Amino acid sequence: MTSVGIIGSGFGGIAVAAELLQHGHADVRLWERGDDVGGVWRDNTYPGAGCDVPSPLYSFSFAVNTEWSRRYALQPEIHAYLRRTADDLGITPLVQLRREVVSAHWHETDQQWEVGFADGSLERVQVLVSAVGQLSEPRLPSIPGIDDFEGDAFHSARWDHDLDLRGKRVAAVGVGASAIQYVPHLADVAGELTLFQRSPNYILPKPDGPLPRWWRPGIRLERPLWWTFGEQFSRGLDEGTVVGAIEKRVALAHLHRQVRDPRLREVLTPDYPIGCKRILFSNTFYPTLERDHVDVVAERIVRVVPEGLETADGTVHPADVIVYGTGFAAQDFLDTIDVRGVDGEALAKRWVDGAHAHLGMYVPGFPNLFVSYGPNTNLGGGSIIYMLEAQARHMRQVLDRMREGAHATVDVRPEVEAAYDRQVQERLEKSVWGSCDSWYRHPSGRITSNWPGSTYPYHRRVRSLDVEDFAWA
Ligand code: NAP
């Protein structure tokens, strides 16, 4: 039986493990650097952390959760769902916790991956699955003087729950998907809250609310409706579409309804096409900004000084605590692991101008390496779980074929990968993502995070295995 090692036990790792176990691929182990399963849903514990994909859609199709307590569930409930699913499917005993993978080298002679761990130990597997996600490495901004600050500072994905923020002067840097969730909570405790915004976002209203127990069958009914909504919503992510125009109108009307101060409205109005940065959902963010002790600073931060943050206009904004909601090293796919393929080639070198992989999963010259949530598989709308499941099914078909044909290795053909990449990049030219800076883009300018379009075309593309696309040996 082919041995499979999966790096990571978030939604991606659990999707792959579940699919393999259900189809008789039993030699599976998962390496998890944290002390629990859950990935981003374990790590992001900031106040108000939750998912802005409606919960009826946000569970695996093979383990639909009908017990969500609200339409947009919060982090503890999502994490609990993942843990429960891993238990129910027999995955938990296969997870090795506090086992951080630092290297993975392909050994041609015995056709195995040699996986190295932070403690210096080694393991060998025939097939290696990366399920480390795109948003697992918090990124602090490269602002001069960041280490000079004399107060407390932390990143939103490493929230310091021991720090008492009551009455403190808090500086919050960044206004992305994370910040808009914790800013209203921060405002409830902080004495003064100053929000540093580099670029504003389009924010849509969130049809949130509790889901009573009697509505549990209704959660199943809502699921396909939200999926369909997500597919239509994604149309707005291509340039010049009617859907995009409608989304923009709704977002700006939401801003007008919730913010009365014309100066603040102006500061909060984006100047780039809607969807270029991730469209956000919140009913509570805008009203928070009009509270008396909350201020929005749109001046660029030039440096961190011992007593706070200095902006381009020369003002020093004193702070006791800085919260960095500055996102993740999303472009550095698999960068924390030294991955070497055939002839010792480094994956980091191959991807120096931005990551690319056939179907987002397979890299030529890196045999028996499958990447979950890899390049160009992130979404600007809809549920990533749908994508992760589609990928897991494809990987499982590759393993089925290896088993049936007694193949020791599989490697995607370079010309197939190159043609696929060209297609994806051409399709991306229709998207809005080229019109602004965002974490979807590599510094080279390539969009390396996102899948162009809605989720169904991806599902259709990967639902069956084209055996000719690969070299089997
Ligand atoms: P993010 O969306 O990347 O936002 C980072 C914020 O920090 C942006 O406002 C960015 O400004 C700002 N920033 C970065 N460097 C800065 C600097 N040097 N000076 C000033 N501002 C700076 O990060 P995030 O909010 O953590 O979210 C990351 C992703 O995680 C999301 O896009 C989403 O995919 C996922 N997420 C999802 C949910 C959910 O509900 N499903 C919730 C949280 C996160 P610019 O815009 O100008 O770059």
Q: What spacing in Å lies between the alpha carbon of 350 and ligand 1's midpoint? A: 27
Q: Does domain 4-137+329-472 match CATH 3.40.50.300?
A: no
Q: What spacing in Å lies between the alpha carbon of 378 and ligand 1's midpoint? A: 15
For residue 412, what is the enclosing H or E element? strand 410-412
Pocket of ligand 1 from Cβ distances under 6 Å? 51-53, 135, 141, 143, 156, 173-179, 196, 198-199, 277-278, 301, 325-328, 439
Q: Look at residue 268 in the predicted model and tell me its pLDDT.
A: 98
The C-alpha atoms of residue 376 and residue 215 are separated, in whole angstroms, by: 36
Q: What spacing in Å lies between the alpha carbon of 179 and ligand 1's midpoint? A: 7
Q: Whose CA is nearest to atom 4 of ligand 1?
A: 176
CB 181 within 8 A of CB 50: yes
At CB < 8 A and 24+ separation, what contacts does 166-169 make? 166/190, 166/191, 167/191, 168/192, 168/320, 168/321, 169/194, 169/308, 169/318, 169/319, 169/320, 169/321
Cβ-based burial of 189 (10 A; exposed 0-12, middle 13-18, buried ≥19): middle
Q: What spacing in Å lies between the alpha carbon of 357 and ligand 1's midpoint? A: 25
Per-state percent for the chain, helix, strand, coil, to nearest 5: 35, 20, 45
The values of phi and psi at residue 187, to 5°, are -65, -30
Q: Whose CA is nearest to atom 10 of ligand 1?
A: 174
Cβ neighbours for 45, distance < 8 A, ≥ 6 positions apart: 75, 159, 161
Strands (E), 86-201: 95-96, 101-107, 112-117, 122-125, 127-130, 152-155, 169-173, 192-196
Q: What spacing in Å lies between the alpha carbon of 326 and ligand 1's midpoint? A: 5
Per-domain boundaries in the chain: 4-137+329-472, 152-202+238-324
Superfamily the domain 152-202+238-324 falls into: FAD/NAD(P)-binding domain (3.50.50.60)
CB 456 within 8 A of CB 231: yes
Is it true that 4-137+329-472 and 152-202+238-324 share their CATH fold? yes
Q: Look at residue 277 in the predicted model and tell me its pLDDT.
A: 96
Q: Look at residue 106 in the predicted model and tell me its pLDDT.
A: 98
Low-confidence residues in the chain, pLDDT < 50: none
- Report the atom number in ligand 1 closest to the C-alpha of 180: 25
Q: Which amino acid is at 13?
A: G
Q: What spacing in Å lies between the alpha carbon of 438 and ligand 1's midpoint? A: 9
CB 340 within 8 A of CB 351: no
- Report the atom number in ligand 1 closest to the C-alpha of 326: 7
The C-alpha atoms of residue 404 and residue 465 are separated, in whole angstroms, by: 14
Which of the 8 DSSP states describes residue 156?
Answer: G
| Residue of 182, 200, 146 lying closest to 319 (CA atoms) | 146
Please tell me whether the overall predicted TM-score, pTM, comes out greater than 0.95 for this model: yes
Angle of helix 455-462 relative to helix 384-405, nearest 10 degrees, comes to 0
